[in-house]
């Protein structure tokens, strides 16, 4: 999301880690070089918001950050796109769907004793599954409007924490850890 190597994911993806490995999409599918494997430091991690902010120690060459969309433009029925890594390993996938509902002031749990909440959750019929968590939900302009976070018992219904919550999270104070 920034030229200085900041990126978002879910808190449940990084857990309690302070340092993480980040895979940049390889030029040749499935074959990673040292240039495509980066180390990042977790600089903010909110289990309650289920969001984590990571600072890459080395910024990948030729990678353009994604812009954040405007939460007021998110509408039921609009097309959305997801990038994720379902399955084993760092598998890059793209799926397309649409927004079915916008849910305000939502609370949920993953059964781990942590109560989570968000000002705005986007429910979409975008095919995602375990492993897509932390990946972006994009609008037709390629702007991030949410972070794919959880599914449900309803066939095809998946949920993303909105860019409204991402903006609030990004404005929190955090300290860059020493590498």
Q: Give the CB-side neighbour count of residue 168, counting CA atoms within 13 A.
A: 15
Nearest to 116 by CA among 83, 149, 69, 157: 149
Q: Who's near 1: CB < 8 A, 6+ residues apart?
A: 7, 8, 65, 66, 67, 68, 144, 170
Q: Hey, which residues are catalytic here?
A: 12, 50, 133
Total length of the chain: 179
Q: Within a 10 A sphere around the Cβ of 104, how many other Cβ atoms?
A: 10
CA distance 145 to 62: 23
Q: Who's near 74: CB < 8 A, 6+ residues apart?
A: 99, 102, 120, 122, 139, 145, 162, 163
Nearest to 134 by CA among 70, 42, 39: 42
């Amino acid at each position: 999301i920034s030229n200085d190597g900041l990126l978002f994911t879910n808190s449940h993806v990084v857990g309690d880690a302070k340092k993480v490995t980040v895979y940049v999409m390889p030029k040749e599918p499935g074959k990673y070089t040292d240039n495509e494997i980066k180390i990042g430091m977790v600089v903010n991690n909110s289990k309650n918001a289920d969001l984590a902010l990571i600072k890459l120690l080395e910024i990948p060459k030729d990678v353009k950050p994604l812009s954040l969309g405007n939460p007021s433009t998110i509408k039921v029925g609009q097309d959305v796109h997801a990038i994720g890594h379902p399955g084993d390993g760092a598998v890059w996938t793209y799926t397309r769907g649409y927004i079915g509902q916008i849910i305000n002031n939502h609370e949920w749990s993953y059964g781990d004793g942590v109560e989570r909440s968000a000002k705005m959750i986007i429910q979409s019929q975008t095919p995602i599954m375990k492993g897509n968590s932390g990946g972006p939900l994009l609008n037709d302009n390629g702007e991030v409007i949410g972070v794919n976070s959880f599914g449900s018992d309803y066939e095809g219904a998946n949920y993303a924490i909105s860019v409204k919550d991402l903006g609030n999270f990004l404005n929190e104070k955090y300290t860059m850890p020493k590498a």
